[in-house]
Amino acid sequence: MAVQGVVGASFHDPAALVGWMGCVQAQDFAMAKWGVGMRLGAPEAAVDAAFNSGAILRTHVLRPTWHFVLPADIGWMLRLSAPRIRGFCAPYHRQLAIDAAVLRKSRKVMVAALQDGGFLTRVEIASLLKRAKLDTSDIRMNFLMMDAELEGLICSGPRRGKQFTYALLASRVAASLGGSASLDLSGDAALGELARRYFLSRGPATVNDFAWWGGMTLGQAKTGLEVVKGGLSSEVVDGVEYWFEAASRAAAASLPAALLLPAYDELTVGYTDRSAILSPAFEKASFSGLKPAVVVNGRIVGIWRRVVVKGKVVVELTLFEKVSKTAMAAIG
């Protein structure tokens, strides 16, 4: 919790936090903003401002889902993870009759439409693809958009009201960096940098955890760890080796009595083994800890949801076990 910024208030800027963590899973946009804001002690408006300005971007990277990522990192992370994500997409492409010619044509349409710094919504892009006689029915549109993201052609633009927009990645990165250079990493150097970010921001963790989070093979994960393990510490617990920051900040942090974690929070989704925070008895009810979670003394004890009742926001709790009055007061 300390190295992730959940406790200790180490970060005050959304971009600094995302850069420290490498990526933050963000397919549920509202929940991802909660996760970032919770770590910063910042209001939603601050995260919205960082996203709309392009200080943090959103694209498909690492695994076949959206993540927040920095403009300086988006290029090398896409080059590293795109081949594996394309492998995931390949059977769906065959099933949906999306071939190389279709992908080339859809990319061309999107790039032309977004020239000169333009921003378009998914609906607007779909209309242009249909005009070019490209089928966007079923879930084909999802895969056409993901393909253009994986090619490093498009990424998130600022929101237009409640709608998401897309922009050319090159123009979005250039506007955000203002002439500064992006990181140019590849091969073992890229694996090493991803490993460094992961173990510094999520340790103690295992190489299997890193492989899951990075969407990579175990061999790639081991290579990345080998590059950076000289700057890490390790400890074997019950026959499993955990890696973490050599001079961890965790010792100075105090555990909060209660937390309301958002869905897909990095405190759970960042690890393939979640037994440290989640009892096996609660796995099914909590969707393996990926639903919005009630955490007491470092353990998931329930789930929560936000509902609007008569114009007021109400947080409804479903607790898996009885908690103390002190814990209930902290939750409330």
Dihedral angle over CA of 5, 234, 210, 194, nearest 10? 70
Q: Can you tell me which residue has the tokens 């961890």?
A: 248
Residue 199 class from Cβ within 10 Å (0-12 exposed, 13-18 middle, 19+ buried)? Answer: buried
| Cβ atoms of 141 and 148 closer than 8 Å | no
Mean pLDDT of 274-279: 93
For residue range 99-128, what is the model confidence (pLDDT) as tens digits?
999 999 999 999 999 998 899 999 999 999
Mean pLDDT of 142-165: 97
d(CA 68, CA 148): 17
| Cβ atoms of 19 and 36 closer than 8 Å | no
pTM: predicted TM-score of the whole model, two decimal places:
0.92
User: What pLDDT score was predicted for residue 250?
Assistant: 53
For residue range 221-251, what is the model confidence (pLDDT) as tens digits?
999 999 999 999 999 999 999 999 977 555 5
d(CA 225, CA 35): 26
Q: Which of 327, 40, 69 is nearest to 197 (CA)?
A: 69
Name the amino acid, one letter, at 314: V
